[in-house]
Amino acid sequence: MAGIVFDDVTKRYPDGTQAVSGLDLEVADGELLILVGPSGCGKSTALRMVAGLEEVSDGALRIDGRVVNDLAPKDRDVAMVFQNYALYPQMTVRQNMGFALKLAKVSKAEVDAKVREAAEVLDLTEHLDRRPGALSGGQRQRVAMGRAIVRAPKAFLMDEPLSNLDAKLRVQMRASIAHLQDRLGSTMLYVTHDQVEAMTLGDRVAVMRGGVLQQVGPPKVLYQRPANVFVAGFIGSPPMNFLPGELADDGLATPLGFTPLPDDLRQAVAASTLAGRAVVAGIRPEHLTRQRPDTALPALRFAATVDLAEELGAEVLAHFSAPPAPADLPDRALVARLTGATGELARGTRLDLWLDPHGLELFDPETGYSLRTAAPA
């Protein structure tokens, strides 16, 4: 296996469109790294540059320490799994999985051994003599992965491999991919637009927007300490709530009321140039509760009227509107994640909610960056 390094990599098309801008990113040997972002953010373009399907305009792309900018795809020793399974319908599972080795003139005995080994890993042994048309979507995707595994490449590249599956199969396949990567110890670069998929699969997650890397780190770090408003709003389901805020010496004023700041945020404010100025305040839905938070700080209590209640069994997502305030924010609707026995929450139900000040994040309204980081990741 081998690591992958993007060293100030840019992809620019002839019409001037810049799909990827100065990407600096390292995928460690044996790591499963997820590239995530909305459509058009440059994540698939970055993956295709690794595969050799797109040329690098500027910068250096390294696989196993070797610059591969000018190498043909067949010479890079990587295997790609596409959103489209791209299986040969007239071939059996066994023939599909071993086809690339057959083209490479590998002996029949070695092909059979590698196919059997991969089939065992992917729980496909009993399906080796069936054709793709007789398989489920999840089984076909495993065949596509098996075709990559038998080549024993330096790295696996996965481009939205689960997008064509239904919700239940996606959950099953996420577990299968995580188990597979752990068993093989392989280097994987995985592209998805689904942030839930990214958060549950990746050792680390790299968030892209408009061709620019926004933040990279373990899923928990991205969730708890987003670098900017975009990452905070993109990572998390439901996403972070945003409110306009005004800093004061002893706390933060928001449309919901006034709240003191915990010590770490007070220090971040003191180190910034925003003291006494407007900020964007972010709060995760689980930090809006019906019970007073366990904190020595005075917690903010406020009234909310339910616009919509999503009953999810163990929890309820209560949607309500913030009081009007002049601010250009991503969304003025707020969501509280309420757990335990809450009773039926019909539209128009009035709730008394608490805001946990330890769950607050503060962002510069001009740059969008968190006051904790104050600069791009």
Q: What is the extent of the structural domain holding 276? A: 236-363
Q: Which residue has the tokens 């990559």?
A: 148
Q: According to the model, what pLDDT value does residue 326 have?
A: 44
| CATH, residue 139 | 3.40.50.300
Same domain, 282 and 158: no
Same domain, 45 and 64: yes
Q: According to the model, what pLDDT value does residue 186 have?
A: 86
Q: According to the model, what pLDDT value does residue 376 have?
A: 45
Our count of domains for the chain comes to 2
Question: pTM for the full model?
Answer: 0.86
Q: Which of 174, 206, 229 is the last residue of a domain?
A: 229
Residue 374 lies in a domain: no
Same domain, 32 and 129: yes
Same domain, 55 and 72: yes
What is the token pair recorded at 12? 């620019």
Same domain, 185 and 242: no
Q: According to the model, what pLDDT value does residue 332 have?
A: 65
| CATH, residue 331 | 2.40.50.140
Same domain, 217 and 271: no
Q: According to the model, what pLDDT value does residue 377 have?
A: 41
Same domain, 71 and 197: yes
Same domain, 197 and 52: yes
Q: According to the model, what pLDDT value does residue 330 have?
A: 47
Same domain, 248 and 358: yes
**From CA 161, how far away is CA 66, in angstroms rounded?**
27
Same domain, 359 and 336: yes
Same domain, 35 and 182: yes
Q: According to the model, what pLDDT value does residue 374 have?
A: 58
Same domain, 198 and 256: no
Q: Which residues of the chain, if any, have pLDDT below 50?
A: 325-331, 375-377
